[in-house]
Amino acid sequence: MTRFFYAILIASLIVVGIPTNSRHVNASDCKDLKIIFARGSGEEQNTNKSYQAFKTSLEEKLKTTALSYDFVDLEYPAIAVTEDLFVALGAIFGGGSSYAFGDSVNMGINNLVSQINTSCEKTKFVLAGYSQGAIVVINSLNKLSSGKLIYAATFGDPKLYLPEGAGLFPAACRNQNLSNYRIYVPDCFAYSGLLGGTNPYQTESYIDKLGTWCNKMDIMCSSHFSISNHVSYVEDNLYEDAARIIFSKVAKFFDIKSNIASPHDTAILLDTTGSMGPMILKYKDETVRLATETLNAGGRVALFEYRDLDDPFKLVEHCNYESCTLEKFIKAIDNIEVTGGGDEPESLLSASLHVMRNLNWQRGATKSLVVLTDAGFLSPDRDGTTYRQVVEMSRKIDPVNFYIITEDYNEEKYLALAEDTDGKVVTNFDELSLLTDYIIERADSLPKVEVVETEFIKPTLEVHNVTRIADGSFKINLLSSTGKTLVILNDAVLGVTAENEFTITDIDTSRTNTLSLVPISDSGRGDAVIITLDQPLNEPEPELPILKAPNTGFKSEIML
C-alpha cells in the first residue's frame, strides 16, 4: 500500500467551485430570498443528502409565506481520493491532494461571492455550508456586505473557533462566555477545528447573523474523534434545528406573522397533598388550557402527581408523551384525590428527576416542567436526590424549563430553581394565564453546550524542533502526552504516528506549507499545533508527500 499513511483518514471536504462572470440580472431572477448551500466533499450536487435535508426542512416553512425564493446547491465538483483502504476503514467522506483543498475552497468562495454580488439589489441571502462547505461560507463573509445576508449557518466546520473552549476546564463547561454564534456545540471542550480555527470566526457586522452547529463528538469540530458524528447531521435532525432558527430570522426580517408552531413537550407535576384541593380547583381550567394549546400546536403533554416520600407516597404517572390525549388528561385531573401531608416540604426533587429521566423528550422541542404546589421542597430529598442533580439533568436534556405555580409566600423558595433552569415562578392567576401564552410561544433549539462536573484532560503536544534538511525534507521533534499524533500537511491527512521524531519528504518548497499536528487519545483529541514551513526553493512540484514514520495502527473511529 504505497500511500498507507496518506490513506488512513480523510480529513475534510473537498469541493471545487467554478466562478461565474458578471451578468445582467433579469427581473425574473429578483427573488425576495435566495438560499445557497455549500455541500461536502464527494457529495453529488443537488442530490446529496445534506442539501436535500436542509432544503426540505426550510422549504416546509417558507412555502407557508408569500415570499419568492430559490434554493441553490453551490456548483462545484468534488475531488475525492479513492483507495481501497478507505472502504476498509469505513471513512469515505472526503479527501484530496495537499493543495487541491485550498484551491477548492478559494474557487468555492469566488463562486459564492460572485453569485451574491451579481444578484439584484432586493434579493436577500441565507447561506449554509457543511464541512468544507462551512469553510467556504465562513471565508466568504468578509468579502460580502452583511446587509445582503439574513443569516449564515455552518455545520461540522473543520476550522471552527470557540475561544470559550480553551484551557483544562474551559468557561464553556461552566456555561459561561459562550460565543454569540454558538447554537449547538454540546462539547464544552470544543476550541478549534481539526484544521485549526478561523479567528475571528465572527466579525461585529455578523452579530446575530451567524450560527454554528457541531455534532457532539464530530472529529472535525469537537474535541472528540467520531467520524460517524461528522456524517450524521441529517439523521440527528440538525438541519431541521437550523431551519427553525433561520425561518425565525427570515420571518422577522420580512415582518411575517408566522403560524408555524414549534414543537413543545410539557410535563405537568401536581402536588396532591391534602392542602392542595382548593389550589388544583383554582388552576384546573388554566392547566387544561395549557394542555389543549400544547396538543393543538402539535406538541405533547404528560401528567404526574407527587407528595412526600415519607407519607409514604411514590410518584404517580397518569399519562406520558406517548399516551396522553386531552381526554385522558382531563379525566385524570378530575379523578385525582388530594390527601396526606403533614410537614410542609414535599419531595419535588426526587419527583422531577424521575420525570426528566423517564420521559421520552422530543429532540429540538421546547421542554417545560410545570409544577403546581403550595409547599416548599426537601433539599436534599429523602432518597438523596440533590438540587444540583436536578438542575444538571435539566440542562443536560435541553434544558427542561421549570415553571413553578405556587403561593406568594413560597416565591423566594423557588426563584433559584426557576432561574437555574431558565423558567419562571408564578404566584397568581393572572400570571398563570400569561405563563401559558409564554410557554406556547417560546421556541428554543437544542442546547448550546453541555455543562460538565469534572475536567476532561485534553491530549497535549509540544513541538521541540523543526529542522530543514538539504533535500527539502523537514524533521519534526515533538512530545505528545498520549504518544499518538495525527499529522496533516496543508489540508491532507498524512496519518498517525507514535514517534516523537519523524521526517516529511517531497514537500513542494516553492510555496508556503502548513503542518498541523493534533494529539489524539482513545477519548478524544487535543488542539492542533500549527507550523508554517515557508522556505521556498522554487523546486519542481513533486508527487504527493509521504510521511516516513512507523505506523502503530489507527482506528477509523474512536468513541467514548
Domain 264-441, CATH number (from 3.30.70.890, 3.40.50.300, 3.20.10.10, 3.40.50.410) = 3.40.50.410
* pLDDT single digits (tens) 234-263: 988 899 889 989 998 999 999 887 656 567
Query: How far is it, in rounded angstroms, from Cα 467 to Cα 299?
Result: 62
* Stretch 500-514: mean pLDDT: 79
Residue intervals in the chain for CATH 2.60.40.10: 461-548
Residue with the three cell numbers 462539547:
187
Amino acid at position 276, single letter = M
Is the whole-model pTM more than 0.85?
no
What percent of the chain is predicted at pLDDT more than 90?
41
Peptide bond into 200 cis (omega under 30): yes
Q: CA nearest 496: which of 508, 506, 507, 483?
A: 483
* Helix, strand and coil percent figures for the chain, each rounded to 5: 30, 25, 50
Residue intervals in the chain for CATH 3.40.50.410: 264-441
* Stretch 392-412: mean pLDDT: 89
* pLDDT single digits (tens) 40-78: 877 888 888 999 999 999 998 999 899 999 999 998 765
Q: CA nearest 155: which of 204, 79, 246, 220?
A: 220
On the 0-12 / 13-18 / 19+ scale of CB atoms within 10 A, 379 is middle
CATH 2.60.40.10 for domain 461-548: yes
Strands 316-319 and 492-497: unpaired
* Stretch 409-422: mean pLDDT: 90
31-54: b (≥16 Cβ within 10 Å) or e: bbbbbbbbbbbbbeeeebbbbbbb
> What integer pLDDT is reported at residue 310 of this predicted model?
85
131, 40 contact by CB (below 8 A): yes
> What integer pLDDT is reported at residue 103 of this predicted model?
77
The two counts, helices (H) then strands (E), for the chain are: 12, 21
Q: Where is pLDDT greater, at 507 or 559? A: 507
* Stretch 274-287: mean pLDDT: 84
Q: CA nearest 373: which of 395, 345, 415, 401?
A: 345
What stretch of H or E contains 110?
helix 100-117
